[in-house]
Structure 1
Amino acid sequence: MKTKPQNLVIIMSDEHSPKALGCYGHDIVKTPNLDALAARGTRFSRAYCTSPVCIPARASFAVGKYIHQVGYWDNADPYDGRVPSWHHVLRDRTHDVVSIGKLHFDLSYVDHGFTEEIIPMHVIQGGDLMGLVRSDLPVRKGAYKMERFAGPGESQYTFYDREIVSRAQIWLREAAQRQSDKPWVLFVSLVCPHFPLTAPAEHYYRYYNQNLPMPKLYEKSERPNYPSLVDYRNSFNYDDYFDKETVKKAIAGYYGLCSFLDENVGKVMNTLEDAGLADNTRIMYTADHGDNMGTRGLWGKSTMFEEAAGVPLIIAGTDIPAGNVIETPVSHVDVYPFVLDAVGELDPQLREGFPGTSLFDMAKGEQPDRNVMVEYHGMGSTTGSFMIRHGRYKYIQYAGYPAQLFDLEADPEELTDVSAQPAYAAALKECRQRLLAMCDPDEVDRRAKARQAELLNKFGGREAVIARGDLGFSPAPGAAHNFD
C-alpha cells in the first residue's frame, strides 16, 4: 500500500507475554502508556514471534523470514549479518537506522546493518552452548536464579534499561535538531521484563501487596505432561526451587517489571512529543517472545503456548487506524514489509521471496490466505516443534512426538489437547497439510541438528559445554557474568 513516508520508532521488550498488558485484557497488570498507544493505534490480538527464544526470534525479526528459511536455530547461533536485514536495506538506501540496547547478535564485530549501535548487548562466549545438546538433556544448574532473584530492588537489567531509555531520549532530541533527507528508524530494544525477576520497589509492591492468584495449572496434579514439556521441565528445572510464597514473589516481580517497562515506554513517547517529532514519527511496540509466567509449572519461554509464543504488537501514527483491534493472526515476519512501507521504500523487488504481509495492510483489514508459523529448535528440547495458527485452531507438530491441536475459540486458555477427539479429525488433517505446505518438519529438524552438531564439535563437544554450564541470563554490557 502507499503511505506517507515518516520516521519510525520500534520499541522491543524481552519476554513480555501478551497476556500481561491492560489493553490485552489483564485485570491486574497496569500498563497505562501501552494502553494509550493501543487506543490511538492498532493492536494485533493474535500476534506471534517466529521462535519463543531470544536469539532466533531476534534474527528472524531482523531478516523478515522464518527460522527454517535462514537458520539461526538456537541461542548458540546468533545473527551474523550474512543474511541481509531490513537494517541493511534501509541503510543502503541512505536512511539513518540506529539501534539502542539489546540486539543479541554475533559479537564478532560484523556488520549487522545499522548506521550505529548504541550500548548494544550481544552474545558472549558463543551464547547458550548447552542448548546445542539435543539428547539426554543436561539439567541446568543455574535454574535456581529464577527463584533466588525474585523480589524488590534493582538488577543489571533495570539499570541497563534506564540507560537505554536515557540514550533514546538524547538521540531523539538531537534528531529533532538535524535536517534529514529521508526518514530514519530508531530501534529501542529493552530487556525487561526478562528475568531476573527483580523489580523496582515502587512497581514490585503494587503487586506483592495484593492477593495474587496462583498461575494457571500450577499444581502438579493439574500440569499437562506432554513429552515436550517433560523434556523442558527436566532440563530447566526452575520450579524445583519454588514454593507458594516464592511463586508470589516471582509473579509480583514479573508484573512489576511489566509496569517498569511501561514507564520506560512512556518516557520515549513523551520525548517524541516534547521534541516535536510526534506528528511525523510512527511507533511500533512488540516483544521478542513471551513468558510462561509459572503457568503449568513452567518459567521462561520455549513453549508453543500463547503465553510464550504470542507477543504484544501495537502500531500507531499516520495512516494507521486508531482504536483498532485486528484478530487476524500476524507474525514478526510481517514487520519487514511494514518497516519498508513506513519509510517509503515501496519497490516490489524488496519484498520478493519474503513471507510477510505489511502490518499497514493487515491494519486496514486485509486477510491473506496463509498461516503464521512458530518453530523451536533450542535449549530444553529433543525434537523440533512447529506451530501454525489456522482459524480457530493451533496445531503443533513435533519431529518425534505426537501432534497436538487446540481449539482456541472453545478453549482460549489451552487446557485441552483435542488431537485425539474424532470430532476434530478433519481439522487435524487440514492443519497438518497446511503446515507441510510451509515446510517439512523432519527435514528441518535434521538440518537444525546437523548445524548444532557442527557447533557442538567446534566448542569441544558435549562434556565440555556441560562442564562450562550456563549463565541463566545474558549479562548487560559491562556486567559481571558467572557460569553455573
Structure 2
Amino acid sequence: MAKKPNILFIMADQLRADYLGCNGHPTIRTPNIDALAARGVNFTRAYCQAPVCGPSRMSFYTGRYASSHGASYNNVPLRVDERTLGDYLRPEGYRVALVGKTHMRRDVEGMQRLGVDPDSSRGVLISECGFEPYERDDGLHPDQSVNPDLRYNEYLRSQGYESHNPWHDFANSAEGDDGEVLSGWSMRNCHLPARVREEDSETAYTTRRAMDFISESEGEPWCLHLSYIKPHWPYMAPAPYHELYGVDDVLPAARSKQELEQPHPVVGAFMKHPESESFARDEVRERVIPAYMGLITQLDDHIGRLMAFLEARGELDNTLVVLTSDHGDYLGDHWLGEKELFHEASVAVPMIVVDPSTTADATRGQRSERLVEAIDLVPTFVDYAGGGEFDHILEGRSLKSVIEGASPTEWRRYAFSECDYAWRPARLELGLAPDQANAWMVTDGRWKYVHYEHFQPQLFDLAHDPDELNDLGNDEEHRTICRAMEEALYQWCRERKSRITVRNSQVSAATGSAHKRGYLFGIW
C-alpha cells in the first residue's frame, strides 16, 4: 500500500464465530469469507466487550470497555464527550462513513447542555456515533413511524412493494397460501422465502449502497463501516437462500440435562425468557437454524460481490478489510436464546483482518490464537492511518505489528466482557434492583471465569470442556483458580482509563517540573 490505506470495516450483526467454514462449521458455505481468511489473519480467540448490540458496538467504535464509555445496554446514550473512530481518522484525512447499523442513541441531554444543534455538521457526527451517515439503517422497524425517513422503505416502495412498512411486510415476512402476510417475527414462518426479491433484500441493498459510497470517494482515503443487519432476527431469507440448508445441517445443541435441572441462578433466570423457552425446543432450532445459515451464505455471496467490485476499481490492493460481528447467537445452546451471557456462542466473535501490503505476507492465511478484543480495532485503524498516540484514552491494542509478523513480548493475558441485564426480565426474577444486575467475564484462553454480583461465580475449563457444560465455580479443587481469575478481574477494574483529557506524554514531560515552573513549595 503506497498511500494511506482505505479501511473497509465489515460487521455482520449476530454472526456466530463458529458459523463460518474457515472456523470449522462442517456444512455452511462461506467461500468468500473463507477467502478473506486465506488472504489475511483469522483471529480465532476474539471476544466482544458486551454480548449485546448497543454496548458491544460502542466498544468497537470507541476502543474502550463498556465500563469506561458507560453505554452499558441498548439505547443507553453514548456520552457526548466520548471520542469515536471518526474523531481519530478524520484528522488523518479520512472520510469516515456508515452504511448500515450502529444501534447508537445520541446523548440528547448532553448536547442540549453544551448547546450543540443536532442538525449542525458537528451535531450530526455526534448523533451518529462519529460516522457520516451515508445510509443508516438499524434494521429494527416494527412500525415505519420509528423511522419515517428510512431510505430502505423508500427504495422498496420505488420497486413496487406497496405497504405502510415494506421492511416488515415484504423484506421480513413471507406469504401464505391465500396471499396473506406471514410475519417474520413469528419464527414458525422462517422456513418460507421472504416476500422480497433477493436483489431488493436488506443485504443486497446494503452492499449496493456501500458500492455507491466507494464510487463517490475517489481522491481521498476512506473508512467505511459496512454494518450488515443480517443474520440478526427476524430470521427471514429471500429465495433461494431460504432453502439452501435443512434439518441435516442443524448441529446438536451444546447443552446438558444438568444445566437445565441445576442451572446457575442467573442463567436459570435467562432460561425463563420467551426466546430461551422457544429455542429449547428442537422444532424451533430445526426451523430457525437453516434460515440463519441461509442468511450467512447470502451475506457471503455479497461480500464476494463487494471484493470483486473493489478489485475491478483497482482498490483491493490498497484496502484494509476487517470482518467481524458484534456478538453471537445462542440458537438453543445451553437452553438459551438470543445472546447477552458469556458462553462462547454469545461472546466469541469472528475477527478476520486482511492487510494486502507486502509487509503482511509473513502472516497471510494464518490462524492466530492470541486473545483479541473488539476494542483492538480502533487502535489498529489509527496505527494504519499513521495517527498519533492515544494511550491515555484507548484501551485496546493495535494488531498491526502482529499482522506484520512481529511477536510482541507483552500481549494481553486476559480478555474481558461485561453484562448489564437491568432491562431484562431475569432481573425481576432474581429480585435485583436496576444497579445490581451486573456480571463480568474474564478468560485467559484456558479458563473462563464469570463474576455475578450477589451470586456465586462460574468457571469453565475451555481446554477440556469446550462446550462449557461443566461449571466448576463451586468446585473446591478449583478454588485457587477462581481466586486467581477474580484477582485478574479486580486488577482490570483498577486499570480503566479515566484520565482522558491529558496525554501520557504530557504527564511525563511535566513530572517533577513544579520547581522549574516557579511553584517553590517544600523549600526550607
Q: How does 1:306-385 map to 2 (within 5 A)?
A: 306-317=344-355, 318=357, 319-320=359-360, 321-345=363-387, 347-348=388-389, 350-363=390-403, 364=405, 365-366=407-408, 367-378=410-421, 379-380=423-424, 381-382=426-427, 383-385=437-439
Kindly indicate whether residue 510 of structure 2 is the aligned counterpart of residue 432 of structure 1.
Answer: no
CA distance in 2, matches of 1:428, 1:52: 22
Identity level (%): 28
**1:269 — aligned with what?**
307
Residues 320 and 354 of structure 2 are in contact (CA less than 8 Å); yes or no, is this contact kept in structure 1?
Answer: yes
Shift of 1:37: 0.3
Shift of 1:401: 1.2
Larger Rg: 2
Judging changes above 3 Å, is the alpha-carbon distance between structure 1 residues 373 and 4 closer, same or farther for their aligned structure 2 residues? farther
**2:477 — aligned with what?**
423
* Match for residue 188 of structure 1 among 226, 230, 242: 226
1:249-308 CA-to-partner distances (Å, cap 9, x unmatched) read: 111111111111211221221111111101111100000111111112211111100011
1:57-78 CA-to-partner distances (Å, cap 9, x unmatched) read: 1111111100111111111313
Residues 214 and 248 of structure 1 are in contact (CA less than 8 Å); yes or no, is this contact kept in structure 2?
Answer: no
Kindly indicate whether residue 293 of structure 2 is the aligned counterpart of residue 247 of structure 1.
Answer: no
CA distance in 2, matches of 1:433, 1:115: 38
**2:68 — aligned with what?**
69
Shift of 1:210: 3.2
1:26-80 CA-to-partner distances (Å, cap 9, x unmatched) read: 1122111111100110011110111010011111111110011111111131335
* Match for residue 449 of structure 2 among 395, 398, 401: 395
* Match for residue 202 of structure 1 among 230, 240, 247: 240
In structure 1, what residue type is equivalent to 2:326?
Answer: D
Residues 99 and 114 of structure 1 are in contact (CA less than 8 Å); yes or no, is this contact kept in structure 2?
Answer: no
**2:519 — aligned with what?**
none
**2:214 — aligned with what?**
172
**1:479 — aligned with what?**
none
Shift of 1:152: 3.0
CA distance in 1, matches of 2:59, 2:247: 39
CA distance in 1, matches of 2:411, 2:47: 16
1:389-426 CA-to-partner distances (Å, cap 9, x unmatched) read: 12411110011111011110111111111122233222
Q: How does 1:16-415 map to 2 (within 5 A)?
A: 16-79=15-78, 81-106=80-105, 109=118, 110=123, 111=126, 112=128, 114=130, 116-122=132-138, 145=185, 147-154=187-194, 159-175=201-217, 178-180=218-220, 183-208=221-246, 210=248, 212-217=250-255, 225-240=263-278, 243-317=281-355, 318=357, 319-320=359-360, 321-345=363-387, 347-348=388-389, 350-363=390-403, 364=405, 365-366=407-408, 367-378=410-421, 379-380=423-424, 381-382=426-427, 383-415=437-469
SS in 2 for 1:26: coil
**TM-score, normalisation: structure 2:** 0.74
Question: What's the C-alpha RMSD, in Å, of the aligned pairs?
Answer: 2.9
1:351-389 CA-to-partner distances (Å, cap 9, x unmatched) read: 323221111234333351442210010343432110011
SS in 1 for 2:245: helix
SS in 2 for 1:246: helix
SS in 2 for 1:201: coil
Shift of 1:126: 10
1:292-351 CA-to-partner distances (Å, cap 9, x unmatched) read: 111122111111000110100000122332011111111011111101012221x22x23
Residues 60 and 374 of structure 2 are in contact (CA less than 8 Å); yes or no, is this contact kept in structure 1?
Answer: yes
Of residues 415-424 and 49-58 in structure 1, the stretch that sits farther from structure 2 once superposed is: 415-424
**2:158 — aligned with what?**
none
Judging changes above 3 Å, is the alpha-carbon distance between structure 1 residues 325 and 201 closer, same or farther for their aligned structure 2 residues? same
CA distance in 2, matches of 1:354, 1:426: 32
In structure 1, what residue type is equivalent to 2:239?
Answer: A
1:206-246 CA-to-partner distances (Å, cap 9, x unmatched) read: 21263634422277985761211222222344424874333
SS in 1 for 2:302: helix
Residues 20 and 29 of structure 1 are in contact (CA less than 8 Å); yes or no, is this contact kept in structure 2?
Answer: yes
Unaligned runs of 5+ in 2: 109-117, 148-182, 428-436, 495-524
1:176-222 CA-to-partner distances (Å, cap 9, x unmatched) read: xx222xx3211100011101111223223221263634422277985
CA distance in 2, matches of 1:245, 1:231: 22
Judging changes above 3 Å, is the alpha-carbon distance between structure 1 residues 426 and 376 closer, same or farther for their aligned structure 2 residues? same
CA distance in 2, matches of 1:398, 1:413: 20
Residues 303 and 309 of structure 1 are in contact (CA less than 8 Å); yes or no, is this contact kept in structure 2?
Answer: yes
Judging changes above 3 Å, is the alpha-carbon distance between structure 1 residues 368 and 187 closer, same or farther for their aligned structure 2 residues? same
In structure 2, what residue type is equivalent to 1:174?
Answer: E
SS in 1 for 2:216: helix
In structure 1, what residue type is equivalent to 2:59?
Answer: S
CA distance in 2, matches of 1:153, 1:119: 26
**TM-score, normalisation: structure 1:** 0.80
Aligned residue-pair number: 419
CA distance in 1, matches of 2:5, 2:68: 30
SS in 1 for 2:416: strand
In structure 2, what residue type is equivalent to 1:247?
Answer: R
CA distance in 2, matches of 1:284, 1:14: 14
